[in-house]
Amino acid sequence: MVLKDKLVLAYSGGLDTSVMVKWLGEKYGYDVITLTLDLGQREDIKEIERRALSIGSIKHYSIDAKEEFVKEYIFKAIKANALYQNKYPLGTALARPLIASKLVEIANKEGAKAVAHGCTGKGNDQVRFEVTIRALNPNLKIIAPVREWNMSRDEEINYALEKGIDIKPSKSQYSVDQNLWGRSIEGGDLEDPSLEPKEDVFEWVILPERASDKAEYVKIGFEKGLPFKLNDEEKGGVELIEELNVIAGRNGVGIIDHVEDRLVGIKSREVYEYPAALCLIEAHKELEKLVLSRSELNFKGLVEREWAWLVYSGLWIEPLMKDLQAFIDSTQAKVEGYITLKLYKGSMRIVARESKNSLYNYSLATYKEGSSFDQRDAEGFIKLWGLSSTLAYNRGV
């Protein structure tokens, strides 16, 4: 008996990756091992495992990676105020290097010769997977079946029926990827950027006009730049994010409608649901404004933009990431305190902030009696501040 080479497939349980289990065996002759990570996507992981094995996977790995996802990826994104193009909180982009690292880990453990993923040739995820995989194990062959087979959805369904594959094709017109940090929706009517998203797009966030007529307040506590309290109760990272997703979502907060520049050079209309992420990033930014100096904030803004770009573009393993992260971590030592948000029908507003490390000085800022700010100093300051500009403006006059 000739032993077949093994391949590890990142398996979601959906139509594409279910068809791949059979196709990879037929096309390449691999014994396929499937891998599913629980990243808080709200799916039945045991049912996904059952489906993989019933289709023909010789072995299946289910890994609960929620804690690792939060501590090693999401928390770093919060400290970096990570928003690609000032809009997208990078949920899918952050998950891909984690999944890729687990693919390599299982491939090494099983002695597999190859790994496979379900990304298309038009998206960003193919880059995020493959750059990380090649960095961690350049000897692994990488197969991207969707790029190769060019099947339509109907052709995939027919193939699945012919092969007796247990699938339940989604009736939704949308393509959805979700994890603990957020939900990404594309395809269908959303491909026309002139159309407003229909209500059936959203699952985590209620439409603002349907939200409660009463505002809800949320108090978030931070320690060294990381959230650890929600409404004065200490929470683990996973629990805090899950609860805040519910709270913000029921108040209509977290919808993003965005025309995005993809890595491959095309513009794409993307709709996202990120209730907890938007609240946490906004609260963290506000706390930083209270405790960091103007120069720190200005320079950190440049670092944040580059950090978000590297994550979005699949360069999690780029050495510059470590350099940027070292600077970001250095700024977080004094980012401690509490931020209160007021959520109301889709709006999110900072209404209170406090920190023992605050640089806000009441006696200097107040216009009331007892101010320690000597206004007479302003005249000399203004003269010196504008001296160079004034001289240049009047040159030759």
Catalytic residues: 16, 96, 125, 175
272 close to 245: Cβ distance less than 8 angstroms? no
Q: Which residues share a beta bridge with 1?
A: none
DSSP 208: G
Virtual CA dihedral for 291, 312, 192, 184, nearest 10 degrees?
-80
Q: How far apart are CA 204 and CA 252, in angstroms?
A: 9
Tokens of 329: 């971590």
Per-residue burial over 141-160, b if 16 or more Cβ lie within 10 Å, else e, is: ebbbbbeeeebeeeebbebb
Phi, psi of 222 (to 5 degrees): -120, 145
Beta strands in the chain (DSSP E): 6-10, 31-38, 59-64, 114-116, 141-143, 175-179, 182-186, 216-223, 226-230, 233-234, 255-261, 267-273, 337-344, 347-354
